[in-house]
Structure 1
Amino acid sequence: MTDTPGTGPGLEPGLAEAQRAHWQRTYTANPGMYGERPSAPAEYAAEVFTAAGARDVLELGAGHGRDTLHFARAGFRVVAADFSPTGLEQLRSTAAEQGLADRLSVLTHDVRDPLPLPDASADGVFAHMLLCMALSTEEIEALVAEVRRVLRPGGTFVYTVRHTGDAHYGAGSGHGDDIWEHGGFAVHFFPRELVDSLAAEGWSLTEVHPFEEGDLPRRLWRVTQQTSRETSR
C-alpha cells in the first residue's frame, strides 16, 4: 500500500482525517467536554516541572485546555498544541476570561508533522492520551524524537497512554498496529515494550505508573522520562 500524507505506515488512508473531523464535531457539540478541573496527570506533571525548575512547557493534544490553564496558573509559560482549531479557540477564550492570555500561546498542529518549534526551547513537555490516538508506531517514534529535540538538556517528558490491559483493547473495529476504534474514537493501545523502546535512546526512564480514569475505567500508564543533561539531541 502506498501511504498518503497523514495516514502513516500500516494505517488505512483516511483514518487520520476521519479522526480529526470526529474531534472537531465532538468539541463543537460539547464545549469544555472534560470540565474545568485539571487531570490528575497534569497536576503531577506541574509538580515535577516545578521541582525541576522548568519555565517553558509544551502541551501536546491540549484540547480545550483544562491542563494548559493549570500549567499557566502554576506560573509556566505554555505553548498549547492541538489539531483541533475548535478546541484551541475555546482555550484562547477561557484564558482571556481568566487573565491568563499572556502566559500561553496556541498552535494548531498535527503531530504527524515535525514540531514547528526551535531546538531546546522547552523545559517540559506534557501529553495526556495524545500518543495513544490514531498514530502508527512509526509516527509515535518520530513524535518522541521531536519531543527530545525541543527539550532542553535535562528536560522532562510526561505522557499518558492507554495500554493493552485496557478493557477496550481488541474491541470494536481494528485498524492494525494495536489501533482499535470504539465509539468513533481510534486508540493505539501500548504494550509495555513500546514504552521501553521510546525511552531507549537519549532518555532516562524515570517512572511508569499505572492508573485508572473514567467510568470503564480506562487503564493507563503515566510515563516520566528525561533527556540527558549533556545534550537534548
Structure 2
Amino acid sequence: MTHDAPRAHWQRIYQENPGMYGEEPSGPARYAAGLFTAAGARDVLELGAGHGRDALYFAAEGFSVRAADFSSEALGQLAERAEARGLAGRVTTALVDVRDPLPFATGSADAVFGHMLLCMDLSTRHIEELVGEIRRVLRPGGTFVYTVRHTGDAHYGTGIAHGDDIHEHGGFAVHFFPRELVDRLAEGWELREVHAFEEGDLPRRLWRVTMSVPDPAGG
C-alpha cells in the first residue's frame, strides 16, 4: 500500500525548508524524556520524527532511538545532524508510513513518542490501527506519549472540511481530536494523563496524552 501524494507533499516541504522546526526539542519531548528516564526506558521509538529535533534530544539524553518518518528528505537531514553531533551510534532511521503496519518487532520498544503525528491527515480508522500497532511494539509496562490538536483549537471547524474532523489550512490537513477519541484509543491501556497546552502563534491548542501498556508482572 502506497500513499504517494502525502509523501511528496512532505518531501517538498522539507526540501524547501530544511530544519524547519528548529534545533531545540519540543516541550513534550522534554517531558517525555524525563518520564522515560524515570521508568527505566532504554529504547525509544519516535514516529513522525521529521528532521530530528526531538529524536536527537532523546539520543543526547542517553536513549537508543529509532526515528521513523515517511519523508526520506527529513530522515536524511536527521542522519546528517546525528553524525555532526556525534550521536549517530544512538540513532537509526526508518522510512515508515504509519498508515501501514509498523515494521518493528513485537515488544521491541520501551517507549514510543509522537508529537502531532496522530493529528495529521489520518482517518479515525488509521489512527485506531496505528495505536494498536504501537501497543504491539511496546513491551509490557511501556509508555506512549503523544500530542494532538483538539476540537477546542481555533482552526477546528474552519478551512476546507474533509470530514472525520479533518480540516485543511494552507495545504496542511489536521485531524482534530474530540476527547471521546482520546478515551477510546486508551481502552485497554492505563491512561495516565491528558494535559492541555498551547504551542505556536495562533496558538495551537493541544493535548499531551500519556498512557502505558499494563504490565501483568506489576513492574
Interval containing the TM-score (normalised by the shorter chain) = over 0.9
**Match in the other structure for 1:9:** none
User: What is the total number of aligned residue pairs between the two structures?
Assistant: 217
Q: CA RMSD in A?
A: 1.0
TM (norm. structure 1) is 0.91
Q: What are the ranges of 5 or more consecutive residues in structure 1 without an aligned counterpart?
A: 7-15
**Match in the other structure for 2:138:** 151
Task: Map 1:127-146 to 2 at 5 A.
Answer: 127-146=114-133
**Match in the other structure for 1:229:** 215
Amino acid at match of 1:130: L
Amino acid at match of 1:80: A
Cα offset, 1:92, TM superposition = 0.3
Cα offset, 1:22, TM superposition = 1.7
**Match in the other structure for 2:80:** 93
Work out which of the residue numbers 51, 54, 61 in structure 1 matches 2:48.
61
Cα offset, 1:19, TM superposition = 2.6
Amino acid at match of 1:218: R
Distance in 1 (CA, whole Å) between partners of 2:176 and 2:216 is: 33
Task: Map 1:100-119 to 2 at 5 A.
Answer: 100-119=87-106
**Match in the other structure for 2:113:** 126
Cα offset, 1:24, TM superposition = 1.1
Amino acid at match of 1:59: E
**Percent of matched pairs sharing the same residue:** 70
Counterpart secondary structure, 1:54 = coil
TM-superposition CA deviations, 1:31-82 (whole Å, max 9, x none): 0000000000000000000000000000000000000000000000000000
Amino acid at match of 2:156: Y
Counterpart secondary structure, 1:154 = strand
Q: What are the ranges of 5 or more consecutive residues in structure 2 without an aligned counterpart?
A: none
The structure whose RCO (Cα within 8 Å, separation 6+) is larger is 1
Distance in 2 (CA, whole Å) between partners of 1:186 and 1:68 is: 24
- 1:204 equivalent to 2:190? Answer yes
- 1:38 equivalent to 2:25? Answer yes
- 1:163 equivalent to 2:150? Answer yes
TM (norm. structure 2) is 0.97
8 Å contact from structure 1 (residues 19, 185) kept in 2: no
Work out which of the residue numbers 179, 188, 201 in structure 1 matches 2:175.
188
8 Å contact from structure 1 (residues 19, 186) kept in 2: no
Cα offset, 1:170, TM superposition = 1.1
TM-superposition CA deviations, 1:140-165 (whole Å, max 9, x none): 00000000001001000000000000
Distance in 1 (CA, whole Å) between partners of 2:84 and 2:115 is: 24
Distance in 2 (CA, whole Å) between partners of 1:138 and 1:230 is: 28
**Match in the other structure for 1:214:** 200
Amino acid at match of 1:74: E
**Match in the other structure for 1:12:** none
Q: Which runs of 4+ in 1 moved over 6 A?
A: none
Distance in 2 (CA, whole Å) between partners of 1:181 and 1:92 is: 30
Cα offset, 1:18, TM superposition = 3.0
Amino acid at match of 1:167: A
Distance in 2 (CA, whole Å) between partners of 1:153 and 1:64 is: 29
8 Å contact from structure 1 (residues 24, 87) kept in 2: yes
